[in-house]
Amino acid sequence: MTALPRLARVLAAAACSALLAAGLASPAFADAPAATRPSAASSHDHSPEYYVSLGDSLAAGYQPNVGHNTDVSYTDQLYAQLKQHDPDLVHVKLGCSGETTETMIDGGICSYPGATSQLDAAVKFLRAHRGHVSYLTLDIGANDVDGCLKGGAVDLNCALQGIATVTAQVPQITAALHRAGGSHPRYAAMNYYDPFLAVWLTGPAGQQAAQESAQLSVALNGAIALGLKAGEFRLADVSTAFSTLDFTDQATLPGVGQVPLNVARICTWTWMCTPYQDIHATPTGHAVIAGVFRELFRHHRR
């Protein structure tokens, strides 16, 4: 089992090294093929405004109790809130369950008519409706490290590889989106909560594993935050909303008793402590995430 101080140092160093290798200041991602020209309707004064959401299964709204994507995702809940202030707002929901940074760029999981990947679909839409996209949200990167907590400890090689990939590819994604959309949209992307904090409930070994997982979360979220700068995205700090690093404050978990606040929130806002033992947010957890984005947009006026 990797010692926590060493784990933190190694993961942080890996993220910084990958960032330098990726050349964050000058992303090399090539533009996707030119999109078709906007339709005649999009050039009219009364054309609709759009909210475009990209991401993985969180953006798609996957729920394990039904086994498929739903409309309880944070993207759907955020859209409902935004639409209250703009009744003509249209949601373009592109999220794909299982998406990684690599498949978002290259495709291979979900299909998009006339596009090779989720990113390609978004870029083409943004170009075709340039000046009419009000909001764009993104979540990506969790699936790059999702399998790195194994046997009660962090698989360091897996974590290093996943973080290096996220550090290299998130800047490519955000820069491509901003180039396609221009300055009109409000761009925001989230970092992640840590579902594996739930192993705290299994005893001393699980509590050590939860501490290690939190360090992996720090490194992953750090890589994501750095990558957002390439596309001038604002950070929706979901990790803080879920109190991911708070092992100090205590909360009462029904049926269990006093546990660290971060563990209580994971058990309350995800499916991890249910018979499904699933990493995805519950509808309540999605509402928390939507609230983080909503507050970010509320304070980000054009």
Structural domain contains residue 98: yes
- pLDDT digit string (tens) for 22-65? 443 333 333 333 333 333 333 345 689 999 999 999 999 999 99
Structural domain contains residue 5: no
Return the minimum-mean-pLDDT range out of 45-59, 111-125, 278-292. 45-59
Query: What's the number of domains the chain is made of?
Result: 1
* Whole-angstrom distance, CA of residue 110 vs CA of residue 184: 28
Q: Which of 165, 297, 164 is nearest to 233 (CA)?
A: 297
- pTM of this prediction? 0.87
Structural domain contains residue 206: no
Q: Which of 243, 237, 217 is nearest to 15 (CA)?
A: 217
CATH number at residue 91: 3.40.50.1110
Burial tier of 173 (Cβ tally within 10 Å: 0-12, 13-18, 19+): buried
pLDDT higher than 60, residue 180 = yes
Structural domain contains residue 36: no
Structural domain contains residue 188: yes
Structural domain contains residue 35: no
Structural domain contains residue 271: no
Range of the domain at 131: 48-147+162-195+223-246+279-298
Q: Which of 239, 243, 268 is nearest to 253 (CA)?
A: 268
Structural domain contains residue 272: no
Q: If residue 57 lies in a helix (H) or strand (E), which one and from where to where? A: helix 57-60
